[in-house]
Amino acid sequence: MSAKDFLKKAFPVIILTAVVAISVTVLTYTDRMTRPEIEAQKETRTEIMLSEMFPEMSQYEFREEIYTVYSDGDEIGYAFIAVGNGYGGDIEILVGLEDETTLKGITIISQQETPGLGTRIAEPSFTDLFIGLDIADVALRRDGGQIDAITSSTISCAAVVDAVMATAMEKVKLIKASEEGG
Amino acid sequence: MGKFGKEFAKGLIISNPVFVLALGLCPVLAISTSIDNALGMTLAVFIVLLGANVIISLIRRFVPSITRIPIFIVIIATLVTVVNLIFHARFPDLYESLGIFLPLVVVNCIILGRAEAFASKNPILDSIADALGITVGFMLALLIISFLRQILGTGNLAVFGIHFFDLPVLKEHPIVIFILPPGAFLLIGLLMALFRRTGVMKE
Amino acid sequence: MSEFAAIFIGMVLINNFILMRFLGLCPFFGVSKKIGSAVSMGVAVTFVMTIASIATWLIHNHILVPFDIEYMDIVIYILVIATLVQIIELFIKKTNANLYFAFGIYLPLITTNCAVLGITLINATEGYSFTGSIVAALGAGLGFTLVLAMMSGIREKLELANTPKSMRGLPIAFITATLLGLAFQGFGGML
């Protein structure tokens, strides 16, 4: 096979390889350009949620899955993420603590509940019920607690309540333990 | 009207990608839960479709027939990845709403279909017109569906945070089914029948 | 074990690929007029989904992540799928010509089936283990086949019914899908 014949046969592969090479270059470039912004997003999102829950926050620390929130050097609370087993999937909740027995409030980070029904757990009419609540009172009214469930969304509400209660108890134990340890 | 206009109009009604050709249905049904999502998806599809049509039309004489499909796929996939990364960085909320359907634009039959059926055989201006026409047709279909789904399913009309109005009865008792997956099927079926009945679109 | 059962049931029923996730719609409305071809299509797609899941899982976890080139996922996954479908096409052509002609154009079209690329992306996003991805792919494929079979059974009967003219064909198929979808919504609180 002469060189010319070879080139003719190999042409399609050469073109394909060239296209792939260009593709890889373009993508690597785009990735380099966008990566900083994408990384930064994660940080900002957490900060925004925490500062909405603790308006006096000036900075926060994140250690062993617990956020400690400060206002000019004073510890003003804690926060952590709880995950509930909702109707349509996981429900991610940011739970804020004023101290070791009282909730500061909750924010629903993400959920896949039924629109118009379960999704109402993200509304203030539900989340406000948790503000200033004693951890011991975090239960649905039917179970002796203080939280009124939203009609037709009991599964979603129960998921939130269970997750907040269980994770809060767990985290408070850790907070007490680390305080005793110094 | 000229050839440009003709290609444009073709994509709009006669060969409307959604209601007539029933192409690229997956994103249409999934994304149409809100007008914001519909517009965002249209933008993504437009960028990829236009880019693919232009590039493929430009290189059409150099692409050997045997490897043309893999080459088209690589070009489209690259464009989709670029859009995916840029949306992730610049429009994070839209990126989250579109979810898996943004990368899935790469297998959207519309794009590969146009590349193979049109852009690889036609000059660049016609290919651009084709891309525009198809996008507008797609956008119209998507907007009609998401407008209806949003109004009927949530009772309010809000686009990118600008609140237009709430329909009094629907706001209190929205017809939730329209926001749920089955509702999407229902709406499209009804709309298709309606368009056929009124002769706007044929089989 | 129960984790795999949860993934499986989730894929087949609760988050059914066609009715809930809207993945794999083109063949859903295109092929499903006869139960036989619908099931064959379902099996073929399940097969591709499973093999593709294995291949892409390996690529994702052993090449993309370690080398920090995750952004190449879309390009690589779709090329893998396209190649896979080509190989299967050649294989079927050589071993069972009848089947090859029966599938017609729908065989290469498996490449552009959202369900196939969809499951590979879902496996990556959900971070399933190797076995988990296989279970997920099998579940997704089974759910897909199930709904396809149901749909074609119903459509077979619909052909004989007296459907209003503007509803014939696609519109009534969509309405049928609505009803199937509503039924599947009922699986929602299962797990």
Q: How confident is the model at residue A23 (pLDDT cuts 50, 70, 90)?
A: very high
With CB atoms and an 8 Å threshold, state whether C188 touches A88. Answer: yes
Q: How confident is the model at residue C32 (pLDDT cuts 50, 70, 90)?
A: low
Residue range B8-29: mean pLDDT, rounded:
69
Closest CA to A104 of A155, A55, A144, A63: A55
Mean pLDDT of chain B: 83
Lowest mean pLDDT among A147-161, A164-178, B11-25, B127-141: B11-25
pLDDT at A44: 83
Q: Which residues of C touch B16 (CB under 8 A)?
A: none
**Whether residue A103 sits in one domain with residue A78:** yes
Cα→Cα distances C109→A104, B30, C96, C145, Å? 54, 21, 19, 16
Domain end, chosen from A32, A53, A74, is at: A53
Q: How confident is the model at residue C77 (pLDDT cuts 50, 70, 90)?
A: very high
Q: What's the CA gap between B124 and B59, in Å, rounded? A: 10
Q: Which residues of A touch C75 (CB under 8 A)?
A: 23, 27
pLDDT at C27: 76
Chains that touch B (3 or more CB pairs under 8 A): A, C
State what percent of residues in chain B have pLDDT above 70.
Answer: 84
Nearest CA in chain C to B70: C79
Q: How confident is the model at residue C56 (pLDDT cuts 50, 70, 90)?
A: very high
Asked whether residue A181 carries a pLDDT value surpassing 60, the answer given is yes
Q: Which helix (H) or strand (E) holds B46?
A: helix B35-59
Evaluate whether B56 touches B120 at the Cβ level (below 8 Å).
Answer: yes
Asked whether residue C23 carries a pLDDT value surpassing 80, the answer given is yes
User: pLDDT tens for residues B155-176?
Assistant: 777 777 677 676 777 677 777 7
- State how far residue B2 is from chain C, nearest Cα, in angstroms: 33
**Whether residue A14 sits in one domain with residue A78:** no
Asked whether residue C108 carries a pLDDT value surpassing 60, the answer given is yes
pLDDT at B112: 85
Q: Does residue C23 or residue C54 have the better pLDDT?
A: C54
Q: Which residues of chain B are at the A interface, by a Cβ-Cβ cutoff of 8 Å?
A: 33, 62-64, 66-67, 70-71, 74-75, 77-78, 81-82, 85-86, 88-90, 92, 153-154, 174, 176, 179-180
Closest CA to B3 of B139, B118, B114, B111: B118
In terms of Cβ atoms closer than 10 Å to its own Cβ (0-12, 13-18, 19+), residue B147 is middle
Angle between helices C73-95 and C35-59 (to 10 degrees): 130
Evaluate whether A127 touches A161 at the Cβ level (below 8 Å).
Answer: no
Q: Which residues of C touch B30 (CB under 8 A)?
A: 21-22
Angle between helices B124-154 and B2-9 (to 10 degrees): 30
Query: Domain span at residue A23?
Result: 1-53
- State how far residue C99 is from chain A, nearest Cα, in angstroms: 30
Domain count across chain A: 2
**Whether residue A138 sits in one domain with residue A171:** yes
**Whether residue A40 sits in one domain with residue A14:** yes
Asked whether residue B122 carries a pLDDT value surpassing 80, the answer given is yes
* CB-CB neighbours of C127 under 10 Å: 10
Q: What's the CA gap between A37 and A47, in Å, rounded? A: 15
**In Å, how far from its chain's centre is CA B165?**
26
User: pLDDT tens for residues A42-86?
Assistant: 778 888 888 888 888 888 888 888 888 888 888 888 999 898 887
CA dihedral A31, A36, A41, A44 (to 10 degrees): 180
CA dihedral C86, C91, C93, C99 (to 10 degrees): -100
Lowest mean pLDDT among B29-38, B75-84, C39-48: B29-38
Nearest-by-Cβ selection for C171 from B26, B181, B189:
B189
* Tally of residues, chain C: 191
**Whether residue A92 sits in one domain with residue A34:** no
**Whether residue A32 sits in one domain with residue A73:** no
Asked whether residue C100 carries a pLDDT value surpassing 80, the answer given is yes
Closest CA to A129 of A145, A152, A112, A110: A145
**b/e C151-164 (16+ beta carbons within 10 angstroms → b):** bbebbeebeeeeee
ipTM of the predicted assembly exceeds 0.90: no
Looking at this protein, which amino acid is placed at residue A68?
T
Q: How confident is the model at residue B53 (pLDDT cuts 50, 70, 90)?
A: very high
Nearest-by-Cβ selection for B71 from A16, A34, A114:
A16
pTM of structure: 0.81
Query: Of C13, C23, C74, C151, which to mutate for an interface test with B (greatest number of B Cβ within 10 Å)?
Result: C74
Across-strand partners of A78?
Answer: A68, A97
Q: Which residues of A touch B70 (CB under 8 A)?
A: 16
With CB atoms and an 8 Å threshold, state whether A115 touches B33. Answer: yes
pLDDT at C29: 73
**Whether residue A176 sits in one domain with residue A115:** yes
Take residue C39 and report the two structure tokens written for it.
Answer: 């099931």
Residue range A118-125: mean pLDDT, rounded:
84
With CB atoms and an 8 Å threshold, state whether B64 touches A11. Answer: yes
Residue range B44-54: mean pLDDT, rounded:
93
Q: How confident is the model at residue A149 (pLDDT cuts 50, 70, 90)?
A: confident
Take residue B76 and report the two structure tokens written for it.
Answer: 């489209």
**Whether residue A48 sits in one domain with residue A24:** yes
Q: How confident is the model at residue B40 (pLDDT cuts 50, 70, 90)?
A: very high
Evaluate whether B9 touches B133 at the Cβ level (below 8 Å).
Answer: yes
Pairing of β A74-85 and β A59-63: unpaired
- State how far residue A166 is from chain B, nearest Cα, in angstroms: 28
Q: What's the CA gap between B13 and B17, in Å, rounded? A: 8
Chains that touch A (3 or more CB pairs under 8 A): B, C
Residue range C73-80: mean pLDDT, rounded:
94
Lowest mean pLDDT among A156-160, C25-29, C85-89, C97-101: C25-29
Lowest mean pLDDT among A121-130, B27-36, B51-60, B167-176: B167-176
Q: What angle do CA C176, B30, B151 make, to 5 degrees?
A: 85
**Whether residue A64 sits in one domain with residue A46:** no
Q: Which residues of C touch A88 (CB under 8 A)?
A: 188
Nearest CA in chain C to B181: C20
Evaluate whether A113 touches A106 at the Cβ level (below 8 Å).
Answer: no
Q: What is the DSSP letter of B122?
A: S
Mean pLDDT of chain C: 87
Nearest CA in chain B to A39: B89
**Whether residue A153 sits in one domain with residue A116:** yes
Take residue C151 and report the two structure tokens written for it.
Answer: 């749909």
Domain end, chosen from A53, A77, A92, is at: A53
Q: Which residues of B touch A23 (CB under 8 A)?
A: 74-75, 77-78
Asked whether residue B182 carries a pLDDT value surpassing 80, the answer given is yes
Residue range B94-123: mean pLDDT, rounded:
87
**Whether residue A36 sits in one domain with residue A3:** yes
**Whether residue A49 sits in one domain with residue A73:** no
